[in-house]
Amino acid sequence: MKHEVVLVNPPSPFLKDQLVMPPLGIMYLSSWLKSFGIDAVIHDRAGTDKKIPEAEITALTATTPQYPYAVDAIESITHKTKTVIGGAHASSFGNCMDFDIEVHGEGELALYNIVMNNKYDIPLPRIYKGKPIENLDSLPFPDRYWDGFKKYQYNHNGIKFTTAMTSRGCPYNCAFCFSMLGKKVRNMSVERVIAEAAQIQNMGFDGIMYYDDTFAINQERTTDIAEGLHNIGMKFRCFTRANTINEKLLQVLKKNGCVELGMGVESGSQKILDTVLKGVKVSDCENAIQLCRDAKIKLKIFLMIGLPGETAETIKATKQFILWNQPDDYDISIYTPFPQTKLWDLHRIGATDIEYKEPIDYNHMFYKSVEGKYKSNVRTEDLSFEDIEHARHELEELKEAY
Quote the pLDDT of residue 367. Answer: 55
Closest to 392 measured CA to CA, from 226, 401, 148, 372: 372
Residue 140 DSSP class: P
Chain-centroid distance, C-alpha 282: 24
Distance from C-alpha of 150 to C-alpha of 257, rounded to nearest angstrom: 24
Do both 371 and 279 map to the same domain?
A: yes
Which neighbouring-strand residues pair with 187?
167
Residue 369 DSSP class: B
Do both 232 and 341 map to the same domain?
A: yes
What stretches of 241-309 show up as alpha helix (H) in DSSP? 247-255, 270-275, 282-295
Strands 186-187 vs 167-168: parallel, antiparallel or unpaired: antiparallel
Angle made by CA atoms 312, 314, 316, in degrees to the nearest 5 = 70
Quote the pLDDT of residue 366. Answer: 55
Is 382 a member of any domain? yes
Do both 256 and 320 map to the same domain?
A: yes
Surface-to-core class of residue 106, CB atoms within 10 Å of its CB (0-12 exposed, 13-18 middle, 19+ buried): buried
Give the C-alpha distances (Å, rounded to integers) separating 293 from 223, 247, 280, 298.
Answer: 19, 11, 19, 7
For residue 361, the enclosing domain spans 153-401
Quote the pLDDT of residue 339. Answer: 94
Do both 225 and 325 map to the same domain?
A: yes
CB count within 10 Å of CB 204 equals: 9
Do both 88 and 159 map to the same domain?
A: no
Do both 25 and 165 map to the same domain?
A: no
The predicted-structure confidence for 367-379, as pLDDT tens digits, reads as follows: 555 556 678 999 9
Is 34 a member of any domain? yes
Distance from C-alpha of 222 to C-alpha of 76, rounded to nearest angstrom: 45
Surface-to-core class of residue 281, CB atoms within 10 Å of its CB (0-12 exposed, 13-18 middle, 19+ buried): middle
CATH number at 258 reads 3.20.20.70
Do both 80 and 176 map to the same domain?
A: no
pTM for the complete prediction?
0.95
CATH number at 17 reads 3.40.50.280
* Cβ proximity of 260 and 156 under 8 Å: yes
* Per-residue pLDDT tens listing for the chain (402 residues): 899 999 999 999 888 889 999 999 999 999 999 999 999 999 999 988 889 999 999 999 999 989 999 999 999 999 999 999 999 999 999 999 999 999 999 999 999 999 999 999 999 999 999 999 999 999 999 999 999 999 999 998 899 999 999 999 999 999 999 989 999 999 999 999 999 999 999 999 999 999 999 898 899 999 999 999 999 999 999 999 999 999 999 999 999 999 999 999 999 999 999 999 999 999 999 999 999 999 999 999 999 999 999 999 999 999 999 999 999 999 999 999 999 999 999 888 888 999 998 888 777 665 555 556 678 999 999 999 999 999 999 999 998 877
Angle made by CA atoms 144, 150, 155, in degrees to the nearest 5 = 105
Is 136 a member of any domain? no
Which of 66, 96, 130 lies at the terminal end of a domain, its last residue?
130
Domain total in the chain: 2
Quote the pLDDT of residue 372. Answer: 62
Give the SS3 label for residue 154: strand
Peptide bond into 22 cis (omega under 30): no
The predicted-structure confidence for 176-197, as pLDDT tens digits, reads as follows: 999 899 999 999 999 999 999 9
Do both 95 and 184 map to the same domain?
A: no
